[in-house]
Amino acid sequence: MTLDGRPADRRAVPLFEQFLEFAPDAVVCADQDGRIVLVNQQTENLFGYERDELMGQPVEVLVPERYRGGHVGHRTGYFSDSRTRPMGAELDLYGLRRDGTEFPAEISLSAIQTENGRLATAAIRDVTDRRRGEQSQARLAAIVASSEDAIVGKTLDGVVTDWNHGAERLFGLRGRGGDRSAHRHHRPSPSGRRRGGDARAYSRGRAGGGHRHRAPAQGW
């Protein structure tokens, strides 16, 4: 179905709608009544609906039920200030699939003017993998911070960049908020260098013992 209600004959579909089909994200267009008038293939893939099932439905069908009441007000408010912006900055957003499962989402809003009025367009991305990565990094950071062992992070050139409280006690490291480039450890051997990725290594030490290298933590 096209924006003006015509059957979706590919030869007659406007360029804008053809462009949406190649967008990497799910794209949902809704009118000022909040009714879905256009979706792309990625929307079908992400939410599990056939597009004909979504046409004319309130956009809240894609929103978890606990958020629907507030979403109606936000949607109405967007049309009074319809500029391109991320939706719900600093908020955790979720989409609802046809099978009832939810996923964390990143959503960008924009508006387009058509001969049938203004439409709100939402580009929706599933960020499940990103959230898992962030949670893994947070767990690792918590483990390092609470460890009684001394753990020191450094670049492969031997420049100390991070340390925990155990390292402060064992090595007397200070100035966590200052210039850490003044603190240097030994340089790792060429065989210990990694190619690509995060150029950082971690050493772990115990009082009365030596150091042993740990695998680098990506982005930590």
pLDDT, the chain, mean = 75
Does pLDDT of 82 surpass 60?
yes
What is the CA angle 12-16-22, rounded to 5?
A: 100
pLDDT confidence of residue 200: 45
Phi, psi (rounded to 5 degrees) for 99:
-85, 5
Cα(157)–Cα(56) distance, rounded to whole angstroms? 60
Does pLDDT of 166 surpass 60?
yes
Contact 13, 3 (CB under 8 A): no
Query: Among 28-32, 63-67, 153-157, which stretch is predicted with the lowest mean pLDDT?
Result: 153-157
Indicate the pTM of the whole model: 0.59
Residue type, 114: T
Residues contacting 30, CB < 8 A, separation 6+: 36, 37, 59, 75, 119, 120, 122
pLDDT confidence of residue 71: 85
pLDDT confidence of residue 54: 97
The 10s digit of each residue's pLDDT in 184-214 is: 343 433 333 333 334 444 555 555 444 333 3
Does pLDDT of 67 surpass 60?
yes
pLDDT confidence of residue 34: 93
Cα(60)–Cα(49) distance, rounded to whole angstroms? 14
Does pLDDT of 53 surpass 50?
yes
Contact 105, 125 (CB under 8 A): yes
Does pLDDT of 44 surpass 60?
yes
Cα(135)–Cα(133) distance, rounded to whole angstroms? 5
Question: Hey, what are 122's tokens?
Answer: 């939402």
- According to CATH, the topology of domain 15-126 is Beta-Lactamase (3.30.450)
Residue type, 50: E
The conformation of residue 219, written as its DSSP 8-state character, comes to T
Give the residue extent of every domain in the chain: 15-126, 141-214
pLDDT confidence of residue 30: 94
Confidence tier at 47 by pLDDT (50, 70, 90): very high
Contact 185, 160 (CB under 8 A): yes
